[in-house]
Amino acid sequence: MKLIVGLGNPGEKYKNNRHNVGFVLIDKYAKEHGLVWEENSKLKALTCKVEDKLLVKPQTFMNNSGESVSQIINFYKIDPEDLTVIHDDVDLPLGEVKKQFASGAAGHHGVESIISCLGTKEFWRVRIGVGRPSGGMQVEDFVLQDFLKEELAVINKIGLEV
């Protein structure tokens, strides 16, 4: 089984934040495939299955994503090499997509949490560019802001191949 995890923060308040691009894209994929999210409080996640893939939205908040991901990996006995994590990246231009295997967290706290909880970085990452803040704005503040309407339109054009 393949595990596809979109990172984000739970709750309406964060729905269109740049930091939630993983949720935005995995939600889009689920909707396009007629999938329905199920709450799994034991695994601290929303999940849905399609073919041999388990789609996941951790409900632990971004910086603790590893708690949910490691529980799911252990419960379903999934090899970390079969894990793909979709997340925001301020080092890529808006809408750019980069897929990497076994790369470091590059300062992304959600990815750091997953690496820490799994004890390995041997998994796939799909980095989604959200652009960089301007005018001296801190990265932490920038990623917690909502996408502008035109930025969200760019993000919604991204197609996931999971």
Identity of the amino acid at 12: E
Residue 96 confidence (pLDDT):
97
Nearest to 69 by CA among 103, 131, 22, 106: 22
What are the two backbone dihedrals, phi and then psi, of residue 140, each rounded to the nearest 5 degrees?
-60, -40
Q: Across the chain, what does the average pLDDT equal?
A: 96
- Looking at the predicted structure, is the pLDDT value of residue 135 above 90? no
Exposed e or buried b per residue across 17-49, where buried means at least 16 C-beta atoms within 10 angstroms of its C-beta: bbbbbbbbbbbbbbeeeebebeebeebbbbbbe
Instruction: Tell me what pLDDT residue 62 has.
Output: 96
Residue 78 pLDDT exceeds 80: yes
- Per-residue pLDDT tens over the stretch 45-56: 999 999 999 999
Taking the model in full, what pTM does it have?
0.96
- Digit-coded pLDDT (tens) for 14-41: 999 999 999 999 999 999 999 999 999 9
Predicted confidence band of residue 134 (pLDDT cuts 50, 70, 90): confident
- 162: pLDDT strictly greater than 80: no
**Strand 53-58, strand 45-50: pairing:** antiparallel
Give the residue numbers marked as catalytic.
19
Q: State what percent of residues in the chain have pLDDT above 70.
A: 100
| CATH C-level class of 2-156 | alpha beta
pLDDT tier at 144, thresholds 50, 70, 90: very high
